[in-house]
Amino acid sequence: MGTPLKSLKPLLSPRLLSPLSPKLLSVPGTHLTSFTPNKATSFAKRLELSPRNFPVESNHLKVKENGDVLINTPNRKSFFRNGVAGGSHTVLGAGSFGNIVFGVLADKRGRKPVLIACILLQSVFGVAASFMPWYWLFLLCRFLLAVFNGGTIVTSFVMCMEVVGGEWRTIVPILYQIPFGFGNSPHGTSGVLPAKFNETDQRKIQTVMTELSNVRTKRKEEKRSSCLVLFSTPQLRMRSILLCLNWTICGMTFFAFSQLLGHVSGDVFFTVATGGLIVIPGTFLCVYLVGRCGRKVTVACGHVVTGFCFLAILSVPKGAFVQDWPRVAFAAVGIVGMSVSMPALYLFTGELYPTITRNAGVGSSLMFSRLGSMVAPLIVSLQGVEEHLPLGILAVCAFIETALVLPLPETKGKALAET
């Protein structure tokens, strides 16, 4: 015997519709051959449900021996587990303030000691989170992991950019981003630019020493670094606002599209694997474009390409081609656009801030990127309202990013500002 419609009603509430840990419920008198979209809509109306929230896809349906349809719906426990996973992601994003805290601390106490401390503490809490048997302690460890991870990312990037010089200042900080595309965290080696003093005129050495001495004297006289310094002058204020807005949208776009990759084609594994591999040529392309065209143009072009690729994916119906290869191709080009714009934006952000506030500036920008990533799951969830809405929003956001970059000054070929 099937379950009466009245007893199905509380179990088919829209907030519980999910393929996680399903519970099979029999719908009497409804056979797979007669389960048309019109009948599904009619059945949903009888339960006072929106047809959009009614699970009529093949992975939600089972068939009994007598031909009755079994609807795949979860129980309340599975819904709670789904919320637990979302809470874990939110806590990870909430630890983003570590970017700015350790950025300021690195400006005050030095890059190396702060970086070493963040790496050690990140390792401790990362291992601790893996073995925590209690959910709330797991959240605490995950939060602290995110805090110290933010310090590691900011300080290591700035240190990497400041240690090298000349043309390598462009290349090394961009290649530094390659492991991030794979979702791994190996620590790259620091490049050191050797100085052949034995072959250099002593007067040049004396000139450099005098300049460095003047810089150190000015630093002692100036106010210590803090977050407020980023808004102390009209120039820094405008740069900080534009960069923080750009990084917020960039973080939201990147993480939202990463979650949407599984919906681009029918083969989730092929799409995600393609997205991971395409990061490598995109990063090397970024190195070429940054040196050839400059920072601002590279970032803007990357955003524009990404936006048009999002629109192109929407123009191709899903399932119209084998393996949805046009959609996968457009997604791959979009990932190339992001793998060009994000490393270039990293470099651009570091060069726009003076040395005494560089860690604080980069840390603030990345903190807003994490805040944007917290919005990404909400953007993805809009698929339940309209399938094409998330990609449409991301396309518009990519064009907004382009407009936010254009007012910033170009830094190609210019020395890093000290004060």
Mean pLDDT of 33-55: 47
Higher pLDDT, 87 or 358: 358
Is pLDDT above 80 for 35?
Answer: no
Put the strands of the sheet holding 22-31 in their side by side order. Answer: 22-31, 68-74, 61-63
Mean pLDDT of 317-341: 85
Q: Are strands 68-74 and 22-31 parallel, antiparallel or unpaired?
A: antiparallel
Alpha-carbon distances, residue 396 vs 256, 294, 343, 389, 393 (angstroms): 13, 24, 21, 11, 5
| pLDDT tens, position by position, 185-209 | 333 333 333 334 344 444 554 555 5
Higher pLDDT, 180 or 332: 332
Position 18 scores a pLDDT of: 32
Position 180 scores a pLDDT of: 63
Position 402 scores a pLDDT of: 93
Q: Hey, which residues does 261 pair with through a beta bridge?
A: none
Q: Which amino acid is at 125?
A: F
Lowest mean pLDDT among 32-41, 85-94, 272-281: 32-41
SS3 29: strand
H-helix or E-strand spanning residue 131: helix 111-131
Both tokens assigned to 242 = 């534009």
Identify whether the C-beta of residue 298 lies closer than 8 Å to the C-beta of residue 341: yes
CA–CA gap between residue 117 and residue 294 (Å, rounded): 35
| pLDDT tens, position by position, 257-287 | 887 877 776 566 666 666 667 788 888 898 8
Higher pLDDT, 31 or 298: 298
Residue 208: partners with Cβ closer than 8 Å, 6 or more residues away? none
Render the burial of 284-303: b for 16+ CB within 10 Å, e for the rest: bbbbebbbeebbbbbbbbbb
Alpha-carbon distances, residue 35 vs 31, 38, 68, 367 (angstroms): 6, 8, 10, 49
Of the pLDDT bands very low, low, confident and very high (cuts 50, 70, 90), residue 19 is very low
Is pLDDT above 80 for 127?
Answer: yes
DSSP code for 71: E
Position 405 scores a pLDDT of: 92
Position 297 scores a pLDDT of: 92
The alpha carbon dihedral of 126, 141, 108, 365 has a sign of positive
CA–CA gap between residue 312 and residue 316 (Å, rounded): 7
Of the pLDDT bands very low, low, confident and very high (cuts 50, 70, 90), residue 94 is low
Residue 7: partners with Cβ closer than 8 Å, 6 or more residues away? none
pTM above the 0.75 mark? no
CA–CA gap between residue 72 and residue 3 (Å, rounded): 13
Lowest mean pLDDT among 93-97, 120-124, 353-357, 395-399: 93-97
Both tokens assigned to 116 = 């070493």
Position 272 scores a pLDDT of: 66
CA–CA gap between residue 11 and residue 18 (Å, rounded): 11
Nearest to 361 by CA among 252, 222, 227: 227
CA–CA gap between residue 359 and residue 331 (Å, rounded): 33
As to burial, measured by CB atoms within 10 angstroms (0-12 exposed, 13-18 middle, 19+ buried), residue 344 is buried
Lowest mean pLDDT among 46-50, 94-98, 186-190: 186-190
Please tell me which of 35-44, 90-99, 188-197 the model is most confident about, judged by mean pLDDT.
Answer: 90-99
Question: Which residue matches tokens 């179990």?
Answer: 11
H-helix segments, 267-324: 268-277, 279-293, 295-315
Both tokens assigned to 359 = 């860690």
Is pLDDT above 90 for 136?
Answer: no
Position 216 scores a pLDDT of: 46
Identify whether the C-beta of residue 131 lies closer than 8 Å to the C-beta of residue 162: no
CA–CA gap between residue 247 and residue 368 (Å, rounded): 6
Higher pLDDT, 8 or 61: 61
Residue 209: partners with Cβ closer than 8 Å, 6 or more residues away? none
Fold of 166-181+226-419: Growth Hormone; Chain: A; (1.20.1250)
Both tokens assigned to 335 = 């990932």
The alpha carbon dihedral of 213, 218, 223, 228 has a sign of negative
Using only the alpha carbons of the chain, give its radius of gyration. 26
Both tokens assigned to 303 = 């955003």
Q: In the chain, pLDDT over 70 holds for what percent of residues?
A: 60
Position 120 scores a pLDDT of: 93
Of the pLDDT bands very low, low, confident and very high (cuts 50, 70, 90), residue 392 is very high
